Amino acid sequence: MTCIEFQEALPHIIDSGGGPEHKAHLESCPVCSDLVADLKYIAGQAKLLVPMEDPPKRVWNGIRRSLEREGLVTRPPGPRGRLLKFRHLGCWIINV
């Protein structure tokens, strides 16, 4: 097994532990072994993060106004404050 094959199967390996060929590669390849160790460390540290609180509504309103001023979003005709169109993405976002 090559490193590319191992890394392409990484989501499966992380979820299920992988098969014997994955384990053999992990034991013989310091690069992939270090990668898996780093990912496990990151996942462990992420569990320790304090849950973030949503910023106040005034923060989101300020972001929306800035995007409108820069012409990155526009409001459609109709009820104000419900939809924003992201022109460069070509999609509508509900503004709650």
pLDDT of residue 72: 80
Q: What value does the mean pLDDT take over residues 30-56?
A: 87
pLDDT at 95: 45
Q: How far apart are CA 61 and CA 73, in angstroms?
A: 13
pTM, rounded to two decimals: 0.51
> pLDDT band at 6, cuts 50/70/90?
very high
Q: How confident is the model at residue 70 (pLDDT cuts 50, 70, 90)?
A: confident
Question: DSSP letters of 23-36?
Answer: HHHHHH-HHHHHHH
Distance CA 81, CA 62 (A): 13
CA atoms within 13 Å, Cβ hemisphere of 3: 9
